[in-house]
Amino acid sequence: MKIVAGNSNRALAEEISSYLGAPLAKCQVRRFADQEIFVELQENVRGEDVFVLQSTSFPANDHLMELLIVIDALRRSSAKRITAVVPYFGYARQDRRASGRTPISAKLVANLITHAGAHRVLTLDLHAGQIQGFFDIPTDNLFAAPVMTRDIKERYSTDNVMVVSPDVGGVVRARALAKRIDAPLAIVDKRRDKPGESEVMNIIGDPSGRDCILVDDIVDSGGTLCNAAEALLAEGAKSVTAYITHGVLSGGAVARVSSSKLKELVITNSIEPTAAVLAAPNIRTISIAPLMGEAISRTALEQSVSSLFG
């Protein structure tokens, strides 16, 4: 087994490498003067089982091209099997045609990865589970729930915790976490008038006196979370903490979260945290390296990955 890392999240790649006890393969990813990407594998990969670690986070197009070019270099170097390990799968929110004359970009990206030469894909908390069906190769969608569950149990008395879905679409994800910690479930019913803005309309459930845990897959602008926190506190919640898998946190999101009524925003390192995220007083990062490392190890040994979440 060999592990090749792109430039999107070197810190996570090194953590996974350390967990597996396998050093990162020597691979140079650099730019020409006109910013074209050039990849050179600096060790033999012929006949090897290779895992390419690369989140397609901001800048999404650059990191996606890096992933595709690394896969192509491995295919042309006669790697036996290539697994694209994509902790954060960019373009996942474009998984259907929301209106006329629009693309399904998630399907296009799936086609690109497949045709580049990947034999398998490992990803984490896809925005929509059906994106697995966009790939014509085996795709394992891991879940951050075990990592979050461990952290919640270490910090909260689960007798007083309530899990909250910030919208109707995330109920399945929130219910799964609530079941793990044996906590009740509430739902925030919101209406979005235009992209990037949301208005909380109603809380389905009684959060009075509870430590509320908001659960979602992506935090981008942070508007939904901050509005949901205010609505829950207005309904009598004791505190509101958010556990989100992918901390996109674009634009002024970090400042918005820092000045909000959220007790804490907990994100994973599926996307490399920026300096602003690391400096924020109420944003904390937990590592998915052991989870991803174990999934990689089981894939290499042809063992069950789904049993990680049983």
Alpha helices in 21-104 (DSSP H): 60-76
Inter-residue contact 162 to 186 (CB < 8 Å): yes
One-letter amino acid at 231 equals: A
Q: Which residues contact 183 (CB under 8 A, 6 or more apart)?
A: 158, 161, 162, 163, 213
Q: 14: helix, coil or strand?
A: helix
Report H helices in 77-188.
105-116, 145-155, 171-181
pLDDT of residue 157: 85
Say yes or no: domain 2-143+290-309 is CATH 1.10.260.40: no
Distance CA 83, CA 50 (A): 6
Q: Is residue 58 within 8 Å of 248, Cβ to Cβ?
A: yes
The answer on whether 34 is annotated among ligand-binding residues is yes
**From-to residues of CATH 3.40.50.2020 in the chain:** 2-143+290-309, 145-287
| Residue 35 annotated as binding site | yes
Report helix, strand or coil for 244: strand
Residue 36 labelled as part of a binding site: yes
Query: Any catalytic annotation for residue 261?
Result: no
Nearest CA to 48 out of 9, 87, 7, 83 is that of: 83
Residue 127 annotated in ligand binding? yes
Q: Rounded CA gap, 91 and 14, in Å?
A: 25
Annotated catalytic residue within 26, 179, 190, 261: 190
pLDDT for 189: 87
Q: Is 303 annotated as a binding residue?
A: no
Report whether 220 belongs to an annotated binding site: yes
Is 216 part of any known ligand binding site?
yes
How far apart are alpha carbons 140 and 133 in whole angstroms? 11
In tens digits, the chain (310 residues) has pLDDT values of 999 999 999 999 999 999 999 999 999 999 999 999 999 999 999 999 999 999 999 999 999 999 999 999 999 999 999 999 999 999 999 999 988 999 999 999 999 999 999 999 999 999 998 999 999 999 999 999 999 999 999 999 888 999 999 988 899 999 999 999 999 999 998 766 666 665 666 899 999 999 999 999 999 999 889 989 999 999 999 999 999 999 999 999 999 999 999 999 999 999 999 999 999 999 999 999 999 999 999 999 999 999 998 7
The secondary structure element, H or E, covering residue 222 is none
Residue pair 2/49 in contact (Cβ under 8 Å)? The answer is: yes
Strands (E) across the chain are located at 2-5, 27-31, 37-41, 49-53, 81-86, 120-124, 139-142, 161-165, 185-191, 199-204, 211-219, 239-247, 264-268, 283-286
CA angle 230, 175, 104 (to 5 degrees): 85
Separation CA 222–CA 59 (nearest Å): 19
Domain covering 145-287, topology: Rossmann fold (3.40.50)
Where do runs of H (alpha helix) occur along 199-271? 223-234, 253-258
Annotated binding-site residue? 6: no
